[in-house]
Amino acid sequence: MTEYIAHRGAHDVCIENTLDAFRRAVDLGFSGVELDVHATADGVCVVHHDETVVTQKVALSIRGTSFDTLRDSAPLVPRLDEVLSLLTGRTCVYVEIKGVGIERQVTDVIAASHAECAVHAFDHRVVRRVKELLPSLRTGILESGRLVNSAAALREAGATDLWQWHEFIDESLVREVADGGGRVIAWTANTSSEWRVLQDFGVGGICTDLSLPASERSTRTIDIDR
């Protein structure tokens, strides 16, 4: 069965990467949420898409700002441990490491929690480092283009999830990755027609921006293309 993953939480109805967005994704029945992580100047892992947090008054570099200062200016930016505490026992948390050199901080937070987690990144060296630090953790590599040998790239990184841009997915890729013991997660597919094609290819997961209840996502005759 294909796993549906809420990209940055239910961010078409809530502010992305916030506790409200993750709560809403759980309420809608998503089997996973995807989020982005950076670390502040004092080593606190926070959930935010960009390295810079822009408010009406100021733009702050996360890695150059202490957590207390960041929280004072941007109270909706949650700590990673807050998110994991909220989602423990409720859904799988797919953590994309965006910050540079923060693998230790991220794995420490994950190891201290009871949440079901996995980590992925565009920098495959980060993924390999995470696997060295926390061997039991599921990991994945992000790809925006089609590699000549995706299974080999997964092996090199010690990963099992291939997060592949959805336009480059076909049956041969899914089969290649599966033969190597992995699975393909499509990002980011936002129409019912894309979902149907990807499901037919046999992908393990679909990361989406579209916040629909599970009952509607599982109905193959829905007309929600946009």
pLDDT range class, residue 1, cuts 50, 70, 90: confident
Q: Does the structure show a pLDDT above 90 at 218?
A: no
Q: What's the pLDDT score for residue 196?
A: 95
Average pLDDT over residues 9-30: 97
Q: What's the pLDDT score for residue 221?
A: 40
Average pLDDT over residues 129-155: 98
Average pLDDT over residues 3-25: 97
Q: What's the pLDDT score for residue 219?
A: 54
The answer to the question of residue 97 being in a domain is yes
Rg (CA), the chain: 17
Number of domains, the chain: 1
Q: What is the pLDDT of residues 57-96, one digit of tens each?
A: 899 999 999 999 999 999 999 999 999 999 999 999 999 9
Could you tell me the CA-to-CA distances from 168 to 50, 163, 183 in Å, in that order? 25, 11, 14
Instruction: Give the rounded distance of the alpha carbon of 110 from its chain centre.
Output: 14
The answer to the question of residue 100 being in a domain is yes
Q: What is the pLDDT of residues 86-127, one digit of tens each?
A: 999 999 999 999 999 999 999 999 999 999 999 999 999 999
The answer to the question of residue 222 being in a domain is no
Domain residue limits at 153 = 3-217
The answer to the question of residue 223 being in a domain is no
The answer to the question of residue 14 being in a domain is yes
Q: What's the pLDDT score for residue 216?
A: 85
Q: What is the pTM of this model?
A: 0.95
Q: Exposed, middle or buried, 199 (CB in 10 Å: 0-12/13-18/19+)?
A: middle
Q: What's the pLDDT score for residue 220?
A: 45
The answer to the question of residue 225 being in a domain is no
Structure tokens at 106: 């991220």
Q: What's the pLDDT score for residue 34?
A: 98
pLDDT range class, residue 217, cuts 50, 70, 90: confident
Q: Does the structure show a pLDDT above 70 at 223?
A: no
The CATH number of the domain holding residue 184 is 3.20.20.190
Q: Exposed, middle or buried, 164 (CB in 10 Å: 0-12/13-18/19+)?
A: buried
Q: What's the pLDDT score for residue 187?
A: 98
pLDDT range class, residue 222, cuts 50, 70, 90: very low
The answer to the question of residue 51 being in a domain is yes
